[in-house]
Homo-oligomer: A and B are copies of this chain.
């Protein structure tokens, strides 16, 4: 059961061989990093797919397993397999390092693509001293890898030791330290462009100083945690990450398309290539995980995957200087976070798990609820009644004869979706949420690329 079928083995081998061929071929020209990245992503997909299958039993033996609560037969399946994807991803982007810089290496050593030229005595002792080599880009890339690796280490620690929620909330903050420090050392721009409407008061640009670092840290904390709390049904964590990843790629293409072959490249093209190099292999490993985690799930992804996925997006947004655009792709996550806030901050009691409840009789998911042993305090009752009384109800309440609240649905958009559209099967729910994610994201990109000129003086594309 845990071996690959012969069809799978054959397809994966063929894919891998083709990818190796493509990678080898990129050495003929200028390195063609985007093509190489695509091929590496194919390799990452193939190896993640096989490793997830092979390592499942190993993880079960090591105690990394859980029961699927939303199935009739609650069989145990391996947990935390996202860690495997994250490690394969890290190895991929590390091995990829020479490719974006291949052109620079060749240019700096011989100018003609031939590296076997004689070198000066001086070079032999002190190294290449490539004056035209973009060392600062390399440092940026390395800091990104370092932050991702940090979040993976901390995520694995969380999967193993079950860290408390209020501690693990800050895991991404720790992991973002390398990126922030290299940003400080190497770049240090803390100015933001001011919307035209505010220019009379603030000027064209405003220097946020250390506030900008706080803002970046907040992005790094928000993205991973927001994915981690929009979770609980088969495939939702991976699928939302895949949708966001695809939208990021679309954003990169839209931004690059406007400056297709200008001789003096716009400074904003580099970050978008950088984003492509990080997102493509992410999609590779995520698709492999998706095919095992989609309904009915054969493995669980674990917290490591959520942190890792969110951190990829945060880093791409921070280092690519499009963190505002990034937030436009996180609209459902932002809504879910705001909507969850009363429970997250314990205004309303928060049970350990808030995932929808599986009704064994119908086989469908229903909104899960919090039971009120005692009627809620006045302030909480007011909030609950307000949410329930809106034209579109944002919560479903059960009251007893006295009009006291005895039960209220949990505040996640998964439950809200079920309140609005009624009980449905697990995969239907996931597809609904994903379509909403996709629509919000496309709308966000439309706002970014078409409507931004209403607010900002100039677009990066110009």
Q: Is the beta-carbon distance between B127 and A182 smaller than 8 angstroms?
A: no
Residue of chain B at shortest CB distance from A134: B135
Chain B positions within 8 Å of A62 at CB level? 160-161
* Other-chain contact of A146, B130, B133, B142, B189 (Cβ < 8 Å): B142
Min Cβ gap A373→B in Å is 31
Task: Please give the distance in Å from A184's CB to the nearest CB on chain B.
Answer: 6
Closest CB in chain B relative to A37 CB, distance in Å? 15
Contacts of A174 in B (CB 8 A): 91
Cβ of A248 < 8 Å from any Cβ of B? Answer: no
CA distance A101 to B105 in the complex (A): 25
Q: Residue A133 contacts which of B63, B160, B161, B186 (CB distance < 8 angstroms)?
A: B186
Choice from B91, B146, B160 contacting A94 with Cβ under 8 Å: B146
Q: Are A128 and B189 in contact (CB under 8 A)?
A: yes
With an 8 A cutoff between CB atoms, is A107 at the interface?
A: no
**Per-residue CB proximity of A92-115 to B under 8 Å, as 1/0?**
001101100100010001000000
Stretch at the interface among A71-79, A149-157, A211-219, A233-241: A149-157
Within A50-108, which residues are at the interface with B (CB < 8 Å)? 58, 62-63, 87, 90-91, 94-95, 97-98, 101, 105
The smallest beta-carbon distance between A95 and chain B, in angstroms, is 7
Q: How many residues of A contact B (CB 8 A)?
A: 50
A119-136 at interface with B (beta carbon < 8 Å): 123-128, 130, 133, 135-136
When distances are taken between beta carbons in the complex, the residues of chain B under 8 Å from A109 are: 188
User: How many copies of this chain sit in the oligomeric assembly?
Assistant: 2
A57 CB to closest chain B CB (Å) equals 11
Cβ–Cβ contact A124 & B184, under 8 A: no
A interface SS class: helix
**A205 contacts partner chain B, Cβ-Cβ < 8 Å:** yes
Q: Mark A342-364, 1 if CB is under 8 A from B, else 0.
A: 00000000000000000000000
Residues of B within 8 Å of A267, CB to CB, are 125-126
The smallest beta-carbon distance between A323 and chain B, in angstroms, is: 16
Q: Using Cβ atoms and an 8 Å threshold, which residues of chain B touch A126?
A: 267
Q: Does A38 lie at the interface of the complex (its beta carbon under 8 Å from any beta carbon of B)?
A: no
A138 within 8 A of B: yes
Q: Which residues of B contact A149 (CB under 8 A)?
A: 146, 149-150, 153
Query: What are 26 residue pairs bridging A and B, where the CB atoms are less than 8 Å apart in the complex?
Result: A62-B161, A87-B153, A90-B153, A91-B174, A94-B178, A94-B181, A95-B177, A95-B181, A97-B185, A98-B184, A124-B191, A127-B187, A127-B188, A128-B188, A130-B186, A135-B139, A135-B186, A138-B182, A138-B186, A139-B142, A142-B182, A145-B146, A146-B146, A149-B149, A152-B153, A156-B156
When A and B form their complex, which 7 residue pairs have the shortest distance between CB atoms, in order from nearest? A135-B135, A142-B142, A135-B136, A127-B187, A138-B139, A97-B181, A139-B139
